[in-house]
Amino acid sequence: MKGIGVSPGISIGKACIIEKIATSVSGVLLKSEEEKELELKNFETAVFEAVAEVEALKLNERLNLQSEDLEILDVQIEFLSDEQIKSDVEDKINVELKNANDAVIEVIGAAVGLFASMEDEYFRARAADVQDTGTRILRHLNHKMGATNQLFDENTILIAEDIAPSDTVALDITKIVGFATQLGGKTSHTAILAKAKGIPAVVGCGANLMQVNENDTVIIDGTTGEVIVNPNAHTIEHYRAKQKQFSQEMALLKQLNNLPAKTTDNRQVQLFANISNADDLELVFENGGEGVGLLRTELLFMGRDSFPSEEEQFRFYQQVAIKSKNKPVIVRTLDIGGDKQLDYFNIPKENNPFLGYRAIRICLNQQDIFKTQLKAILRASAFGNLKIMFPMISNLSEVKQAKECVNQVKSELRNAGIEFNESIELGIMIEIPSAALMADILANEVDFFSIGTNDLCQYALAVDRMNDNVSGLYTHFNPGVLRLIQTVIEQAHKQHVHVGMCGEMASDPLATLVLLGMGLDEFSMSAFSLPHIKKVIISNSFSKAQDVVRKVMEMDNSESITAYLQEVLK
């Protein structure tokens, strides 16, 4: 079977099937006030027990939970305690006369659907958090045991439709050597757990995966995304050799962490990481990251019922600044709208929100919100090397207005005698084709660019990558997209403006030599991708990368470009 390889490596073991807890609606309606009271009580008890269970997991020393693990459990508690979910379930019981089981299934299903429909991959992956909340409540309603209660044999490969977020951190993985799931993507919690623990994993394998039987021999190739069931002796021998080779390669990669990202002919670039909070920095530095190319600030605004205060934001940015050890951190200002909606912020419903009221457009229209964030970032800049980046820029006027807001906030801070970095750098994301095509004009106004390839590809190609009918057209190797990127880099460098990239393309090894040859100054990606991109850079020369660009730019289709780049990296 073929899926998505999300954690590289080879594992060979015996299958252990994690059965999904049934979540079928019974359709039984309540007939009396007494029954309603009983169902409300059952729901309340199930939530209480579910929270207590998660709290107990946090205190379990045997699990040796790390900060990112505890964060997942905290998110679980947050969803379990969510007042909106509680209110919706109670309404279904009181008004619609649903029993607690059916009410939970319907409310959680609606919430999961909302998250799953979001364009942003990170927020789309949060649907699993919500589903996990419902599963845990249902388990307690129906007195069922979870996956974490199972005892595993040596060399176990977990096979599941999906693995719940809180289960990924609570599993005793000392005997687990691989994961394979029917569902999931690159940012699913199975992927996060597997990468953090160095366990090979393949997700998104499709329905056929659930035909695997308990104790079947399974091979997982987390690099290619292959899952082989009941292989013959020759195949096992072949993959054991690949397993040994991979171990040797990983040992070599670990030795690269302290080396600069410099080509064989001394062209040096910066390798940064994309993060969501201060705790992510530890993993960035462990993998040789030199700073942060994207701090997503919108996470601070989500999962709550009101805007965070200036003081709350300041503490968040201050913690990042301090933990960054004076390494560069690019802070992206509020990027909401489109698929990232805030319940407490009544953004008007739009027919096409991705072409509507979002990101910098909201900030410039609601300057009180924008200036509060800018003030918090500027105050935190006294504690580290923070930079400010504005998203979704489409014209020069937006840049000038945003800079004027910064200047006004600076003046307020000076008058109040509050310290901040007077020379803080300002940059913009290049993710709209109009911005890419006028990069020469925009470069006169800012200190740096960061190319957001996810949206740039989507807008340039007129492709909704979530639409199965056209998602095959979405590729950053489209010749038109490559020309836009090359234009941005060339025009920026004429004005001596630094150019980074924080989109998905930056973490694609196939794209590394192309971007390097175009002159990209900084690659920013997930922490796990850093060593792999560094290996490509230090194993090749800048002159070779320039030759690669010349040949690629002569090609007229993405298929030829991809095939050529695969040959180059062999």
DSSP structural state of residue 67: H
Q: How far is CA 138 from the centre of its chain?
A: 28
Output the CA angle 266-270-273, nearest 5 degrees: 150
Contacts with 241 (C-beta within 8 Å, 6 or more apart), sequence order: none
Backbone torsions φ then ψ of 181, nearest 5 degrees = -130, 150
Orientation angle between helical segments 33-58 and 83-94, nearest 10 degrees: 160
Return the HEC string of 463-514.
CCCCCCCCHHHCCCCCHHHHHHHHHHHHHHHHCCCEEEECCHHHHCHHHHHH
Backbone CA torsion sign across 553, 556, 557, 561 = negative
CA–CA separation, 216 vs 233, rounded Å? 14
DSSP structural state of residue 452: -
- Written as one letter, the residue type at 429 is M
CA–CA separation, 334 vs 332, rounded Å? 7
Contacts with 150 (C-beta within 8 Å, 6 or more apart), sequence order: 16, 18
**β-strands 226-229, 270-275 pairing:** unpaired
Q: Quick check: 354 and 338 in contact, CB under 8 A?
A: yes
Return the closest-CA partner of residue 25 out of 102, 97, 98, 91: 102
The total of other beta-carbon atoms located within 10 Å of residue 276's CB is 16
Return the closest-CA partner of residue 339 out of 113, 89, 57, 68: 113
Residue that the structure tokens 């005793």 belong to: 172
The burial class, CB within 10 Å (0-12 / 13-18 / 19+), for 145 is exposed
Output the CA angle 145-147-149, nearest 5 degrees: 65
The burial class, CB within 10 Å (0-12 / 13-18 / 19+), for 158 is buried
Reported as type and span, the H/E element at residue 522 is: strand 522-525
Backbone torsions φ then ψ of 268, nearest 5 degrees = -110, 135
Q: Quick check: 331 and 389 in contact, CB under 8 A?
A: yes
Q: Quick check: 276 and 292 in contact, CB under 8 A?
A: no
Q: Which residues are catalytic?
A: 189, 502
DSSP 114-174: HHHT-SSHHHHHTHHHHHHHHHHHHHHHTT---GGG----TTEEEEES---HHHHHHS-GG
Q: Which residues on adjacent β-strands are paired with residue 220?
A: 11, 227
